Structure 1
Amino acid sequence: MEVKIQQWGNSAAIRLPATVLKQMSLASGDVLILDTSGDVMTLKPAKAKLHYRLADLMAECDLNAPEPEELSEWNAMQPAGREV
């Protein structure tokens, strides 16, 4: 696929077709990493997009795990102001 380099202020820019953005699951504002090696230029997403579902995260929780010590101390603290 050919794209044209165009002037954009004091920089040069290329436009990524909507079909490419959709295929790569990218959107305007996403960050890309630009690598160059010789005469080859590669663009890739800065990091994979992570999509979590609450049900999946909850399924990974160990409900029988002991409470962390810091949390026990926090829960045992007396109110210090008018937060009650």
Structure 2
Amino acid sequence: MYTTIQKWGNSQAVRIPKAILEMLEIGENDKVEMKVHDGNLVIIPVKKHKTLKERIAEYEGDYQCGEWDTGKPKGKEEF
């Protein structure tokens, strides 16, 4: 896919087609990292921080909560 560098205010801009944004699962106002590698411009999506609610919603394992032994008290711990 080809595009053109265009003037945007005092800067230059490249428009990223919607299809590419969808493949990368990024959109407007998402953060990206830009760097030059071997003479090529590389744009890397910055991973989004997931909330605890989002992480729990993705969990598909079988978790059984339980107690664990932390050893004998070594100080002035209270029970």
Q: Which TM-score band (shorter chain)?
A: 0.5 to 0.7
Unaligned runs of 5+ in 2: 70-79
Give the secondary-structure state (helix, strand or coil) at the position aligned to 2:20.
Answer: helix
Give the secondary-structure state (helix, strand or coil) at the position aligned to 1:23.
Answer: helix
Unaligned runs of 5+ in 1: 67-84
Question: Does 1:64 find its partner at 2:72?
Answer: no
Distance 1:15 1:32 in 2: 14
The TM-score, its normalising length taken from structure 1, stands at 0.59
Q: Show the counterpart of 1:80.
A: none
C-alpha distance after superposition, 1:40-81 (max 9, x if no partner): 11111122564413573xx66844358xxxxxxxxxxxxxxx
Task: Map 1:1-84 to 2 at 5 A.
Answer: 1-47=1-47, 50=50, 51-54=54-57, 56=59, 62-64=65-67
C-alpha distance after superposition, 1:7-62 (max 9, x if no partner): 11111111110000000000101111111034211111122564413573xx6684
Q: Which has the higher contact order (CA 8 A, sep 6+)?
A: 2
- Between the two proteins, what is the percent identity of the paired residues? 22
More helix by share: 1
Give the secondary-structure state (helix, strand or coil) at the position aligned to 2:41.
Answer: strand
Task: Give RMSD over aligned pairs.
Answer: 2.8
